[in-house]
């Protein structure tokens, strides 16, 4: 099964951050690709949720849930930009 797009994580991210996070901007630590969460390649079939960079497969985001507690890692994101701070 191929990856979904980042919109597939909208529900769990909304639960965690209490807002729509699909428009959160990021910069990949590897090649510097910038984009938004909705563009990430999301893998929901494993024991946790993993979102990878579409250019270089770097793991950008990981969510794991254990006994109702979520653990969030953003190992591949250099510059998370919360939606409220995004200006266009």
The CA distance from 88 to 72, in Å, is 28
Query: Residue 4: enclosing H or E segment and its boundaries?
Result: strand 4-5
Tokens of 14: 């909304």
Q: Which is nearer to Zn ion, 26 or 63 (CB)?
A: 26
The residue behind tokens 């959160």 is 24
41 counts as binding Zn ion under rule CB under 5 A:
no
53 counts as binding Zn ion under rule CB under 5 A:
yes
55 counts as binding Zn ion under rule CB under 5 A:
yes
58 counts as binding Zn ion under rule CB under 5 A:
yes
Positions that interact with Zn ion (CB under 5 A): 28, 30-31, 33, 53, 55-56, 58
């Amino acid at each position: 099964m191929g990856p979904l797009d980042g919109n597939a994580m909208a529900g769990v991210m909304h639960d965690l951050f209490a807002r729509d996070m699909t428009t959160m901007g990021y910069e990949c630590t590897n090649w510097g690709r910038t984009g938004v969460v909705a563009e990430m390649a999301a893998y929901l079939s494993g024991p946790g949720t993993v979102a990878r960079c579409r250019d270089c497969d770097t793991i950008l985001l990981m969510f794991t849930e254990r006994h109702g507690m979520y653990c969030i890692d953003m190992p591949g994101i250099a510059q998370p930009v919360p939606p409220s701070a995004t200006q266009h």
